[in-house]
Structure 1
Amino acid sequence: MTKPKRKSTKESKPNFVLSLKLDTEKYQEDILAKRLDIGRRIYNACLNELNKRYGVMVESKEYQKAIKRPIGDTTRNRALQELIRKYRLTEYSLHRFVQPMQEHFKKNLDSHTVQKIATRCFNAFKGKLYHTANKIHFKKYGELQSLEGKTNASGLKFRNNTLVWNDLSIKVFVDPLDVYAQMALLRTIKYCRVLKKGSNYYLQLVLEGIPPVKINENGEFRHKVGSSKVGIDMGPQTAGITSDETVRLLELAPEINTPYRSIGNLQRKMDRSRRATNPNKFKENGTFNRSNRDPWIKSKHYQADQLKLQRIQGKLSSLRKQFHNKLANEVISQGTEVYVEEMSFKGLQKRAKKTTKNAKGKINRKKRFGKSLANKAPALFLTILDNKLRYLGTELHRINTAVVKASQYNHVDDNYRQKELSERWAMIGEDKIQRDLYSSFLIMNVNPDLSSINRVQCLENYSKFKTFHDIEIERLRTATSHKVASMGI
């Protein structure tokens, strides 16, 4: 089933988010936790209803007849869209479905918040409806971490540095010395969102327009904007960056040291506690008993360890985002015309399908880049960079990786050669060039069609690139900090 494309009648305005910590008391945290769980149950009810409607539709004769038509046939798509409307697999039919639930929980949740829960569920279900996802999962207890409204006029509201939500009023921390927050609060508030991180609650204000420009103590812009073309070669842990002004090979979020030992110890401790307090949930051989539907029992020690784990992961997430923002500002200081290859990071997370053996005859591990991607989050960096570029009136240019083949091309002899992943250096003429940096150089010199490399530009700019390349390689070789193995240095 092909997803229909909607033509917007007006351009969507940009917006940004300001997060402010809530000054909560214990009873207020209990109320917020209760409302989050009510939202979770409504979400699951919506997903269950959509699954039922979808099951009835796919079993119908009309659907079986329509699905047999050739893909791309307009009559096929039209018939499927009519069936979607007939079996009420639409967002607004789900809004009608949740109306009685909102009446039941009206002391806790307003109508706009409940409608947003339904919309959130429907957007997730579209992956199954249009065959881009195999299964949509229900939310487990404690998994729903946020609720949001539709406007700042009713329901979830921000008034006089206070969150007002039904009969609940919670003060919000707004630092009077935080110039950025004070400038952001002058913008129009579109809607509000309550977010739980670890044991803390935050109010996120979605504001119209672009974020305020940050200034330093002297009243100057903190981050400059360059005018060069920039090419980025993204890896699971590193980024090769080339522009007219510099060449850099950087580790993503270099100061993050994930405490794998502490996390592993906590997870094993939690697993032992879970097994001790829930023996009926496991079979004699130690495997999980899927047929048991009893509620999980969590001891106080388990809950304390769970909170510790959440705090560790939350801190790592915040630090990672902070470092990615810094690197994105550094890229934009070189230029706003930024090119990058299209990457399927989900594909890199998957285990290898082919079974191979090493020289000793032992089977090689099938693990790939899941750990590196979880630790460095390269996709998050590209999202942050793209958002910053959009605020400046442009966007991230994604080139066609399969057609351009930047990792295989040699602009000197105008040939392609497939390289092993372990080959970190390439011979370009008589020069030995770091592979990631050379790929970023080629990406920078891509043609406007984003499907081919401009060889003439490569020949013109190569000598300057080689000079910056040698400077960067020397910097990396003399650096005392830890170097990622994939750099080849």
Structure 2
Amino acid sequence: MKKRQAANDHTQAPTIRTPTFLLELSLVVNQGQAKRLRAHLEAARQLYNALLSLGQQRLRRMRADPAWQEARTLPRTHKAERAVAFSDLRKAHGFTEAALHQAVKGLRVGWIAEHIEAVLAQTLSSRAYRALNRVCLGHARRVRFKSRGRGCSSIENKRNDTGLRFVLQPPEEGNAGFLLWNGDQLPALIDWQDEVVAHGLRHRIKYARLIQRPASSSRAAGADAKSNRYCVQLILEGTPYRKPKHTVSQGVVGADLGPSTLALVPQEGEASLQVFCAELVPDERAIRRLQRQMDRQRRAGNPEYYDEKGRIRKQGKQKRQWKQSKRYQATRRRKASKERKLAAYRKSLHGHKVHEVLTQGNTIILEKISYKAWQKQFGTSVGLRAPGMFVALLKRTAVPPLGVVSTGGTLVEVPTRTTALSQWCHGCGKRVKKPLSERWHQCECGVGPVQRDLYSAFLAAYLDPADPIPSCAQYQPYWEGAEARLRAAHECLIQRAKEGQDLPRSLGLTRARVRLPKSSEEPPLEPILLLEGEELEAWAEPLEPPLF
């Protein structure tokens, strides 16, 4: 009883930063409560947009000030002078988080004050400031205003003793949990048999966040008439629960992540090369049909915006007011539902892959990649598999938060310009630039042929994170044993190809028609039409370079 009271004592806020994790619970919301929640979120949307508009005006005035250009001309070696100059400019023009907290007092008036408390208004102003500050620092081009109906879907507090808060009953009263906000008491669905939920509710609640998500159907649990479901995210103090099946090994793993492949080479253990998120297969045909249907409905509702050839008329600077019929909105919701399910499945696959990597080692070394550049060159594959999100999840899971031992691991991202693992040879130390079509590493010194991604992961596994510059001496003792492991990983890949699995070209198989090592005598197979009997003979052919 005393432990429960201590865990639920939310009145005393911590004075220092503590590790934090999330626990999400579904809420049971009736039609009346859902209507009031939508009104509250609509008020939050309008207040957030007003803060963005005010912050944009202050940002433009600050950039138009001649002192801004003078501060920019200061040399970057004088970091202290530049910091003071920009800080004075921010304070003079009111472009600070504290200034927006003061400004929100004048915006939270009238009917908005009836829906949004002062503390929630401050969290909205902090969110708006973070979005505007990204534009100020050059990390984003513009801020996005939230449109009506598709706008603010979450709101959070920064304390758990007033306003939006979560209350947990003691065991003798039923162990039930409720989200309290503006006179509404929303019960949460708590499964005390779930170890993750029981572990989370034993920790102190820092604050709560209300989230509105579109439901798959109006019959979903907790869904309202608008097919929305509501959840509460509890921000808890401590470390998350780790299931016993998710073991973490001690060791170093070299990784080479591509737009559609992932190569893993631990210092001890089996190497692997696999298609990244191979189970993620979108229903492209259904999505294309919905897109065409949306285009027809948009054209039927807005004929004045199209010419006689079906092209959109040039409007100039005048903004178009597109009409959206109810059927168009329903089609858009069906398309969004398919994309939302695909994103949820991708997130699940990322989680499984992270735990799979940590079973081989808790120190992961990989090259630091510009995923924005990948979006321009490999847009389809990156948009489907999201390798940047996977690395972010791997970093959160492997690296202990705020120095607290979680997995005890580290994630090291070495710069590609100094390492150039895909172009460097450990046998002679030369760097030879290879085109992307050349998927095999073979050097004149006798190293190779070996699959390019596997070789890069091998070099990363034995790289010194303190001095990420490869040298020939550090790889010679390990190459003889690692070469057999790399060969075994490639043979497993060949076996999957013979079984009929669809593999991308970047894996370096002959049938994928990529560039082979120069010493290969057999040219890559040309795309020819085969009869049914000849197809069986073609699959019996070797899919590996002759020298491997």
In which range does the TM-score fall when normalised by the shorter chain?
A: 0.7 to 0.9
* Partner SS for 2:410: coil
More moved, 237-246 vs 464-473: 464-473
* Partner SS for 2:338: helix
* Partner SS for 1:410: coil
Q: Which residue of 2 aligns with 1:114?
A: 121
Provide the C-alpha distance between the structure 2 equivalents of 1:486 and 1:72, rounded to a whole number of angstroms.
43
- 8 Å contact 1:283–1:289 — kept in the other structure? no
**TM-score normalised to the size of structure 1?**
0.87
More moved, 274-283 vs 132-141: 274-283
* Partner SS for 1:298: coil
Q: Which residue of 2 aligns with 1:241?
A: 264
Aligned residues: 458
Structure 1 residues 170 and 294: CA distance shift in structure 2, 3 A: farther
Q: Which residue of 1 aligns with 2:254?
A: 231
Identity within the alignment, %: 30
- 8 Å contact 1:16–1:210 — kept in the other structure? yes
Q: Which residue of 2 aligns with 1:7?
A: none
**Of the candidates 94, 98, 102, which is equivalent to residue 96 of structure 1?**
102
Alignment of 1:343-382 (within 5 A): 343-350=369-376, 368-382=377-391
Alignment of 1:39-438 (within 5 A): 39-73=44-78, 74-104=80-110, 105-141=112-148, 142-160=150-168, 161-199=177-215, 200-214=229-243, 221-243=244-266, 244-279=268-303, 285-287=311-313, 289=315, 297-350=323-376, 368-390=377-399, 391-427=406-442, 429-438=446-455
Structure 1 residues 56 and 431: CA distance shift in structure 2, 3 A: closer
* Partner SS for 1:403: helix
Question: Alpha-carbon deviations, 1:14-73, whole Å to 9, x = none?
Answer: 212122222233333333333333222222211111111122222223334333333443
2:431 partner letter: Y
More moved, 192-201 vs 294-303: 294-303
Which structure 1 residue ranges, 5 or more long, are not aligned? 1-9, 215-220, 351-367
Question: Alpha-carbon deviations, 1:373-407, whole Å to 9, x = none?
Answer: 11001111111111111232443111111111111
* Partner SS for 1:225: coil
Q: Does 1:453 align with 2:470?
A: yes
Structure 1 residues 397 and 12: CA distance shift in structure 2, 3 A: farther
Question: Alpha-carbon deviations, 1:248-283, whole Å to 9, x = none?
Answer: 112222211111222222123223323433456667
* Partner SS for 1:164: strand
Deviation at 1:93, TM superposition (A): 0.6
1:334 partner letter: Q
Provide the C-alpha distance between the structure 1 equivalents of 2:36 and 2:472, rounded to a whole number of angstroms.
63
- 8 Å contact 1:252–1:376 — kept in the other structure? yes
- 8 Å contact 1:228–1:245 — kept in the other structure? no
Aligned residues: CA RMSD: 2.3
Q: Which residue of 2 aligns with 1:355?
A: none
- 8 Å contact 1:399–1:450 — kept in the other structure? no
More moved, 79-88 vs 103-112: 103-112
2:203 partner letter: R
Provide the C-alpha distance between the structure 2 equivalents of 1:322 and 1:233, rounded to a whole number of angstroms.
21
Deviation at 1:87, TM superposition (A): 0.5
1:90 partner letter: T
Which structure 2 residue ranges, 5 or more long, are not aligned? 1-14, 169-176, 216-228, 400-405, 510-548
Q: Which residue of 1 aligns with 2:525?
A: none
More moved, 163-172 vs 397-406: 163-172
Provide the C-alpha distance between the structure 1 equivalents of 2:51 and 2:467, rounded to a whole number of angstroms.
42
Deviation at 1:130, TM superposition (A): 2.1
Provide the C-alpha distance between the structure 1 equivalents of 2:471 and 2:44, rounded to a whole number of angstroms.
53
1:439 partner letter: S
1:379 partner letter: G
- 8 Å contact 1:281–1:292 — kept in the other structure? no
* Partner SS for 1:406: coil
Question: Alpha-carbon deviations, 1:200-222, whole Å to 9, x = none?
Answer: 322211211111121xxxxxx21
Provide the C-alpha distance between the structure 1 equivalents of 2:138 and 2:307, rounded to a whole number of angstroms.
35
Structure 1 residues 441 and 430: CA distance shift in structure 2, 3 A: closer
Question: Alpha-carbon deviations, 1:60-96, whole Å to 9, x = none?
Answer: 2333433333344343432222111111100011011
Structure 1 residues 459 and 347: CA distance shift in structure 2, 3 A: same
2:65 partner letter: S
Provide the C-alpha distance between the structure 2 equivalents of 1:294 and 1:114, rounded to a whole number of angstroms.
32
* Partner SS for 2:141: coil
Q: Does 1:33 align with 2:38?
A: yes
Rg comparison, structure with higher value: 2
